[in-house]
Structure 1
């Protein structure tokens, strides 16, 4: 197990170095001059030249990349925002809890609904339940997130008024952020009104974001369960008179857990790094909307830092998924993977 972890950690470092080089190269291909952006269109040539020297933009590409790596490795810094002049890591730390709260809630919804629908579809294979479940899953995978978000906003927020249109809290709600997770902060403060207000604002974006992973998890659960339900030990359990629900939940689902865990981990990584559209639509003040604003403003350090954070998050989630295999399947633990 330790050899496996060492190999994965070494691979993680290699991937992060590769991602940092690719994104560092890519952002410099984007049209626009950061010095011009900071000083404005009326800046003199002397002022522009002086700022380029200060930012290191006059140096060769590899020299700039070396300085960037040095700041990351020695100072733990992702640079300074060109627009706000604040450390990127500090701003990311402020935005990340909002994205994590949204992603984890969406993942919880996806797991509960997706696994339940997948199990029902497998138990009642080739019936109307199975067909309806798979049509719903196919619809969920095919539906564009931006269109679904606007549709849900129009129906449930604009017409019915059941949920707020956007944001994380109402203007009248008073809550002092501690962790940045508003649900947790409201519980720590003992503020029940703030908790339900935050939950009220969270429902619509979380449901929108959960649509695709729910459909994918449902399809994977069905496929894995169908394969396991055909095994001899399942037939033996049925022959012994074990209740059908117990066979499915205690024996079949446990042995079908690895593929489901794998796809769930991939989806969680995508949710944490890919909630850009959902956050933009619902004015959710997280990393997704932060990156969009940085791209529009040509704020290179922010774009580089956020992509690196996304890559690290995705790799870390997949590492944790791989480690969970040792707990889910003793045969993998015995082999040492």
Structure 2
């Protein structure tokens, strides 16, 4: 009895095996919970989009009202089922989504799934390019700001971060176009590629739709250069929005890490401040960036609408603006639902990566 009570916590029959089991179960449970949270998130977003789209009435009246005689308009409304109770339409819409049917556009009579697959690659390409710009600008400048804390470079970079985040994407795009396309003539004004490049890349066997990837696969160096020159300004306009956030996150976390005991010990051994920042302090500063990256994907997808419209980048954002102008709410619903699914899945992946890097996230 006494031996059981006084058994040390680290004994052979003690909690050591159960601790290992708890640690693995913590990660598994965390992933499972995050995975099941995807479904209510998507359900809520789909529900909100559906009812918001119905506030102004049925989609056919919104898109074609005033352009068709009342008899034809009523006939189309009845044939499409938009005269039925709203909740009947809602549950039917959920059933269609479950089978991958996003409906048919009203303005150009296309399957919404066709629109998504045709233009989705362009938006993905723009988002990847913008994320690369954000990481390439935000992380190094954040480290420089932390290294030169409370000095002139730090003050300038903090103002730069605020301007990046506060400047509207379309305004930044117009400034970049005016400066580097109109005045200096360094980059093209609009588009994803020149006409000859687009014909060459779209004519490839099984093209991915991501132009720089298709150019690499085909080994077409001139096409790759043309694609990159068209992508620089749109990626910069959208990427700088997130770069300001990354800059401030890296600066704050590197400054916090520089005050840790192991950094102070390295400083006492004569290690230079630059080496402490670049070798020891920047790695912990990357964890918050990974954590917020999922949220920034949502910001980028939202900013893609304005960026693609500004630079005539034919992606989902450009199409969404076109369908909004045409009041084609069926197409708008499909595109917004797809973007919501992408954001939910991206946040799930980011949560897993953050949990693998930092075990404290799991609890």
TM, length-normalised to structure 1 = 0.93
Unmatched tracts of structure 2, length 5 or more: 1-26
Does the 8 Å CA contact 2:238/2:303 hold for their aligned counterparts? Answer: no
State how 1:292-331 maps to structure 2 within 5 Å: 292-329=321-358, 331=359
Does the 8 Å CA contact 2:56/2:62 hold for their aligned counterparts? Answer: no
Q: Which residue of 2 aligns with 1:175?
A: 200
Structure 1 residue matching 2:67: 3-state secondary structure: coil
Structure 1 residue matching 2:146: 3-state secondary structure: helix
Question: Counterparts of 2:123 and 2:224 in 1: how far apart (Å)?
Answer: 17
Q: Which residue of 2 aligns with 1:50?
A: 75
Does the 8 Å CA contact 1:325/1:332 hold for their aligned counterparts? Answer: no
1:200 aligned to 203, 226, 229, which one? Answer: 229
Bigger radius of gyration: 2
Greater Cα shift, 215-224 or 29-38:
29-38
Does the 8 Å CA contact 1:109/1:210 hold for their aligned counterparts? Answer: yes
Query: How big is each residue's C-alpha offset from its partner over 1:60-94, in whole Å with a ceiling of 9 and x where there is no partner?
Result: 00000111100111x21111111222211221111
The question of 1:60 aligning with 2:85 is answered yes
Does the 8 Å CA contact 2:103/2:111 hold for their aligned counterparts? Answer: yes
Question: Counterparts of 1:142 and 1:37 in 2: how far apart (Å)?
Answer: 34
Question: Counterparts of 1:36 and 1:156 in 2: how far apart (Å)?
Answer: 40
Query: How big is each residue's C-alpha offset from its partner over 1:80-120, in whole Å with a ceiling of 9 and x where there is no partner?
Result: 11122221122111111111111111111111111111111
The question of 1:3 aligning with 2:32 is answered no
Aligned residues: 332
Q: Which residue of 2 aligns with 1:28?
A: 54
1:244 CA drift (Å): 3.6
Structure 2 residue matching 1:158: 3-state secondary structure: helix
State how 1:211-250 maps to structure 2 within 5 Å: 211-250=240-279
Greater Cα shift, 183-192 or 161-170:
183-192
1:39 CA drift (Å): 8.5
Greater Cα shift, 20-29 or 293-302:
293-302
Does the 8 Å CA contact 2:62/2:327 hold for their aligned counterparts? Answer: no
1:256 CA drift (Å): 2.0
Unmatched tracts of structure 1, length 5 or more: none
